Amino acid sequence: MMNQNDLDRFQSIVKQLLEAENKEPVAQPIQAESLFETLDLKLEDEGTSDDVFYNSLEKLVMNTPRTATKQFFNQLFGGRKSKAVLGDLLAVMLNNSMYTYKVAGPMVGVEKEILRRTAELVGYDQYSGGTIAPGGSMSNFMAMVMARDAFESNIRYDGVSNKMTIYTSADCHYSIEKNAAMMGVGRKQVRYIPTNEHGIMMLAELEKQIEKDIAEGFQPFFVNVTAGTTVLGSFDPIEETAEICKKYKLWLHVDGAYCGAVIFSKEYKHLVKGAEKADSFSVNAHKMLGTPLTCSIILAKDKRYLSDSFSNDARYLYQTDGDDYNLGKTSIQCGRRNDALKFWTLWKSIGTKGLEQLVNHQFYLADVARDYIKQNKDYQLYSFDNSISVCFNYKNIPAEKLCTALYQHAELMVGFGTFKTEEFVRFVTINADNKKEDIINFFKTLEQFVEQHYAELMEPQAAKT
Ligand SMILES: *Cc1c(COP(=O)(O)O)cnc(C)c1O
């Protein structure tokens, strides 16, 4: 049942939210310490009247950070694609679980079509397979487990007893290390390969480390390259790494959670040249492709590895249809949210060419930002072309202090990052709804803010939080 009153309220709350997003793109933040005094979040034995309920709900929504606005640059997602939201709302109404054809029906086809087309863009053939995982960290986890089992198939039964080693760059996403712990290989077996001044993994160092480990009795099995590192947005060289992996018989995974979506762009797909040589490839549609959280795709060049590592027999679940249509046979979860429909509605409505434009536009906006920075001597630029993370400092103001003050004053949501010894503002042009003016407006807002708060920002002991 869906109560008509709730539907009406949904519409009215959304309408209010959209108006607020326009008028006040950054919600006034509530200090964490006073959260429970400010909002009515308590759960009690007795329910509330409709009035109290809707009122509390409305206040909650209106006080939540606004990630879809033109002033949100804090994370590797942003904006709101209407057709994708429509798909997601319908997925909630339908509430299928995406493990069997019997329960999900045509939605299985929706997921399969996304996986098939994405695999084609990577350059994989019909023997490839994939699944939608609960996020990029989990996509990486699945890749690592497949690699582990491909290396030694009995590990599935006996557990890990070898000293297996994992290779990734010093600038990779933290999920690699966490996953190493979760899969029984261990955090200490992750080898962080140094990066060059562009944040790109140095392959000579990689090979040296592999040789050293082999000589010391370790068993290398997995190399991760990143397509779009989390801070700088750099791309590790896939083609050359694939050569090394071939030589030492190692599984090669491309973590494209952030920028693997360049496969959609003729202009930028050269950044993942050689992707078809990797054993697995992941990409988050909820980052560059403007789909609501979460929508993460993990592909394996040889689909047998997916079922080898993730299938289980369960008579109570798999009662009809072949394995190809029972997606639970290759997934990490049992109950699965329909993360496919929102991406399908977007893709269906704007086509592959529309997705290509989203990707190209983000690089264009990053060019606009870099040009602006280069033309203004008060800025220092740390990042480089072909990245949608634009890293900079302004007037030598400590980045953390600047970003925190901008947030507390409800001006801009933008984060900071570090690379080697530098700390800087990380401005991400991932919201493809933004225009050139919005990028310029970001800098103008920042400059004006600094002018008004300069003394406070440069104070050596300004209070943190
Ligand atoms: C965001 C990101 C991840 C993690 O993806 P989640 O969906 O947040 O779990 C992994 N790797 C890279 C490079 C990322 O940018």
- Average predicted confidence (pLDDT) for the chain: 96
Q: What's the pLDDT at 62?
A: 98
Condensed to tens digits (0 to 9), the pLDDT of residues 331-342 reads: 999 999 999 999
Ligand 1 neighbour 257 (Cβ under 6 A): yes
Using alpha carbons, select from 246, 300, 273, 279 the residue that is nearest to residue 118.
300
Ligand 1 neighbour 284 (Cβ under 6 A): yes
Atom of ligand 1 nearest to the CA of 286: 7
Atom of ligand 1 nearest to the CA of 136: 5
Nearest C-alpha to atom 8 of ligand 1 is from which residue?
136
Condensed to tens digits (0 to 9), the pLDDT of residues 4-41 reads: 999 999 999 999 999 999 999 999 999 999 999 999 99
Ligand 1 neighbour 76 (Cβ under 6 A): yes
451 Cα: distance to centroid of ligand 1 (angstroms): 35
Ligand 1 neighbour 255 (Cβ under 6 A): yes
Ligand 1 neighbour 417 (Cβ under 6 A): no
Query: What is the bridge-based pairing of β-strands 389-394 and 422-428?
Result: antiparallel
Atom of ligand 1 nearest to the CA of 135: 7
Count the neighbouring beta carbons within 10 Å of the beta carbon of residue 370: 21
214 Cα: distance to centroid of ligand 1 (angstroms): 30
Using alpha carbons, select from 452, 233, 240 the residue that is nearest to residue 363.
233
User: In 3-state terms, the chain is what percent helix, strand and coil (to 5)?
Assistant: 50, 15, 35
Ligand 1 neighbour 173 (Cβ under 6 A): yes
Would you list the DSSP string of 156-189? HHH---S-EEEEEETTS-THHHHHHHHTTS-GGG
Ligand 1 neighbour 226 (Cβ under 6 A): yes
Nearest C-alpha to atom 6 of ligand 1 is from which residue?
136
Ligand 1 neighbour 114 (Cβ under 6 A): no
448 Cα: distance to centroid of ligand 1 (angstroms): 33
Is it the case that residue 395 has pLDDT exceeding 70? yes
Q: What's the pLDDT at 207?
A: 98
Is it the case that residue 265 has pLDDT exceeding 80? yes
Condensed to tens digits (0 to 9), the pLDDT of residues 143-162 reads: 999 999 999 999 999 999 99
257 Cα: distance to centroid of ligand 1 (angstroms): 5
Would you list the DSSP string of 20-67? HHHH-SSPPPPPGGGHHHHS-----SS---HHHHHHHHHHHHHTS--T
Is it the case that residue 316 has pLDDT exceeding 90? no
Ligand 1 neighbour 256 (Cβ under 6 A): no
pTM, rounded to two decimals: 0.96
Ramachandran angles phi, psi of 375, nearest 5°: -85, 0
The amino acid occupying position 444 is K
Nearest C-alpha to atom 3 of ligand 1 is from which residue?
136
**Burial category of 429 from C-beta neighbours within 10 Å (exposed 0-12, middle 13-18, buried 19 and up):** buried
460 Cα: distance to centroid of ligand 1 (angstroms): 34
285 Cα: distance to centroid of ligand 1 (angstroms): 11
More reliable by pLDDT, 148 or 317: 148
Ligand 1 neighbour 235 (Cβ under 6 A): no
